[in-house]
Structure 1
Amino acid sequence: MRASLAGAVLVGCGLVLALPPGQGNNNLPGSGHGVCGTPHRYRCLGGNQPSYASRMPWITHTSGEPSSSVLTSSLPSSSIASTTSASTTSASTTSASTTSASTTSASTTSASTTSTLTTSASTTSTLTTGTLTTSTLTTSASTTSSAPPTVTTCELGTAMGWLEGDSITLNTQSGNGCNRWGWYETPTLAELQIGISGILYVGAGGNDIANAINVGDWTAFASPTGGVTVTYSLDPGYFIDEAHIDLDCLPIDTCAPGQYTFNSGALPNLPVYANPTPLQYPTCSGGSQAYLIIHGSINYPTSATTCEPPVAT
């Protein structure tokens, strides 16, 4: 059959085929060619009503239909019903599958929530493949902290200022308490205005610096008006907790630190210290010289529970 079927529409339970007139086989009614009874695949159903008798015997055409040439299928209703029923069953199955998936999703959410609530310090990994399966991995970590060690401040001993080539031992003086180790300097005002410096030694018994501990440096500087400032600079691990400075004219009448020209009092373990008020350089008579004694009490920090005895006083 060479007729072109322009469209097929499922209406209700029947199949209608629409064939535009004049198209396809030249023997189609309304084409201007062919008549009922011609030796083709079409025949008349009576009353000169041309009809199609194609290889699909259930398709008929009535010339009284509109020009759209509606073809009405004569398929048995059982066949149509069967088709519709199959379609309906398929749709119903899809809907049921959707509901099942929804139920599975709800179940998954509920199970995951319960697992999270019952494993506050755990990591939960859930894999769902049709059946909900939950695996839980619990990890624990412990942190050990200890308090920092307690630092104790211990007394190291007495420090005396020493200047190589210029220092004179205290025991050469006859003053009160001068029969001891230690040194004094005899700088001029001009020398102090330039500045002098030396080493702070602790425990130089017998004035032997080979046996002493070097704990830092000292400097002495005089302003143009004669104000003298002494600075203690301790090495790391050492502190000064009291400073004593004696600046006067010879002879030395006392070597007791508490009776020196300047006494700082207790200090809060400082690494650097200078007398806040400069000491006036003395004017000495009778050809006497000025002298300078630098003294300090030195401490050190330790984590030990007890302190060693001081090296020297």
Structure 2
Amino acid sequence: MVSIGYFLSCEEFGPRELVRQARWAEEAGFERLWISDHFHPWNDEQGQSPFVWSVIGALSEVTRLPITTAVTCPTVRLHPAVVAHAAATAAVQCEGRFTLGVGSGEALNEHVLGDAWPPAPVRLEMLEEAVEVIRALHTGEEVDHHGKHYTVENARLYTLPEQPVPIYVSAFGPKAVDVAARIGDGLCSTKPDGDLIGRYRAAGGKGPAQGGFKVCHAATEAEGVRTALRLWPNEHLPGELAQVLPTPRHFEQASTLVTERMVADVLPAGPDPKRYVESVREYADAGYDEVYVQQIGPEQEEFFAFWQREVAPHVR
């Protein structure tokens, strides 16, 4: 049985709007929430980027749905000790219904303090050490850590949930999948790739696999495609561009190469529920345990009504 969640976009919406969407998602029958963690949006058209930990605090007061960050980078912009502190408090606020999703990050968000942006193998090495630090602090013991990338001295967290916060690791390629299987309590990804899930399981990954995708419900498919192209062309950029481009302006420049046809070929858009159902099933067939859906654009209330009425009965 696949659990269906809603993906709250901190790049496209401000904090109060995200709280409203969480309420609507719960009322529409979604069972859990993803929420992105960004310093910048991908482009200026998206136009938002609230501090995710403040938003999670507000969400904890209006919804009982489990929440996962998708995903937090605990390596450059935020020291892992600070992430451990934030995650522990979030878990207390959410009464244990919080999961820390982590990943190796993007230059877009992580270079803002002037730090050099490391190559991918170093980023994975940093992520592994960061998770080690976070887990140590979540024991409630005093921690001294002198590692290759991080130092922690005489640090102890006093506000802790009853159980350590689960940590899920984001992965898109084989090396990251192996790291996720080794250090994570679960996997996060946005690729409906059965081979990826198979590698995760074969490498010893036993926790849930979370996957997510975007849609654009609209009056017509053409209208939905145009909205998606305007707001999220970056979703269709190839290779490692998402990890290495440093500013929204660079993403806007690269996104001029994305066409309406490229969007229409992969993104469920418009009023036909069949494509939405097919996308959920694609992730389910790939082996995901939880599937998260994000509606692009301002028609949020209309989307939740559409999903509850025309999609949910076919994917429960």
Give the TM-score range, shorter chain.
under 0.3
Higher relative contact order (CA 8 A, sep 6+): 2
Give the TM-score normalised by the residue count of structure 1. 0.19
Larger radius of gyration: 1
More helix by share: 2
More strand by share: 1
